[in-house]
């Protein structure tokens, strides 16, 4: 995860956050256009995410839920005023884009697949987001009608030649996607934290909830290809996760939804 040293956080913070920042080195660790993320190098480390008002409430709920499950970051502060603020303790270890993990792609693929399978087998009866797929569909629907179609991250886009073609696949296929596992929602290498090859937690779980496993599998496969710069480990991931649980047609439907953000 990139970190750019700053003189200070460039906006005024709620008073409750000032003690965490006082005397600390601060780094910009942002990777999303909407949210700003800062790493505060103090004590064992903190992450502060700042986003437009009303956008981090779900992330706060899901981060607390993953922490309760023993697989997430501790939320130390959340407030929603002119902006939303969420402060979490740093999860021990490094994310999976660390060179030491990328240097052993087979081992990395195996742990990503096995930990995702383990996540999907957790009891989710107390999850605060019970129907993730409906929100997922609603977002894609709204973005289609507003002209938000971006396949730049998925250049082959499973062969979709236009937004309308992808939308048709989405509309026909969404009935096959279920709410039957606990999702991370953005299961990419930067969001999986390892400590000496052992899972220490998941971060950026604001897109999580109860949904269809193929959303996480899609992003895992995409992220492996993107970060390792090869699709060589795709089939290995599927084998380790459980080939009997993965339907390529459902991955195609997820792809059709993802091009609409």
Residue-wise pLDDT tens digits, 90-148: 999 999 999 999 999 999 999 999 999 999 999 999 999 999 999 999 999 999 999 88
Q: What is the DSSP letter of 193?
A: E
- Judged against a pLDDT cut of 90, whether residue 35 lies above it is answered with no
186 classed as catalytic? yes
Summarised one tens digit per residue, pLDDT across range 40-68 is 999 999 999 999 999 999 999 999 999 99
Which of 27, 61, 89 finishes a domain? Answer: 89
Give backbone dihedrals phi and psi of 94, rounded to 5 degrees, phi first.
-130, 155
Do 38 and 99 lie in one domain? The reply is no
- Hunting for tokens 């129907």 — which residue is that? 131
Q: Say whether 216 sits in a helix, a strand or coil.
A: helix
**C-beta atoms surrounding 128 within 10 Å:** 12
Total number of domains constituting the chain: 2
- Hunting for tokens 């490094």 — which residue is that? 94
Do 223 and 241 lie in one domain? The reply is yes
Summarised one tens digit per residue, pLDDT across range 206-243 is 999 999 999 999 999 999 999 999 999 999 999 999 99
Q: How many Å is the Cα radius of gyration of the chain?
A: 19
Write out the residue range of the structural domain in which residue 220 sits.
94-258
Do 242 and 121 lie in one domain? The reply is yes
Do 79 and 149 lie in one domain? The reply is no
Which of 68, 89, 110 finishes a domain? Answer: 89
Residue of 84, 110, 186, 216 with catalytic role = 186
Which CATH number is 116's domain given? 3.90.1200.10
Which of 89, 118, 141 finishes a domain? Answer: 89
- Nearest C-alpha neighbor of 250 from the set 173, 164, 140, 163: 173
**pTM value?**
0.93
Cβ-proximal residues to 189 (8 Å cutoff; 6+ apart), any chain: 95, 96, 97, 112, 223, 224, 227
């Amino acid at each position: 995860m990139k970190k750019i040293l700053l003189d200070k956080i460039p906006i005024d913070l709620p008073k409750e956050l000032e003690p965490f920042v006082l005397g600390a080195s601060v780094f910009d660790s942002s990777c999303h256009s909407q949210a700003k993320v800062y790493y505060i190098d103090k004590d064992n480390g903190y992450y502060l995410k700042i986003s437009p008002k009303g956008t981090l409430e779900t992330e706060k709920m899901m981060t607390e839920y993953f922490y309760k499950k023993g697989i997430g970051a501790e939320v130390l502060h959340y407030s929603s005023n002119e902006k939303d603020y969420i402060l979490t303790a740093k999860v021990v270890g490094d994310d999976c884009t660390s060179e030491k993990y990328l240097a052993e792609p087979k081992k990395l693929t195996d742990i990503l697949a096995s930990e995702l399978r383990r996540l999907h087998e957790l009891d989710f009866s107390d999850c605060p987001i019970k129907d993730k797929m409906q929100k997922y569909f609603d977002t894609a629907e709204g973005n289609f009608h507003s002209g938000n179609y971006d396949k730049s991250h998925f250049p082959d886009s499973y062969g979709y030649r236009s937004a309308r073609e992808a939308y048709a696949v989405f509309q026909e296929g969404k009935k096959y996607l279920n709410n039957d596992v606990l999702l991370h929602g953005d299961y990419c290498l930067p969001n999986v934290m390892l400590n000496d090859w052992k899972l220490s937690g998941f971060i950026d779980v604001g897109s999580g909830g109860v949904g269809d496993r193929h959303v996480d599998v899609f992003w895992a496969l995409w992220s492996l290809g993107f970060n390792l710069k090869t699709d060589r480990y795709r089939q290995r991931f599927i084998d380790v996760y459980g080939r009997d649980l993965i339907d390529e047609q459902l991955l195609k439907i997820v792809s059709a939804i993802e091009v609409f953000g």
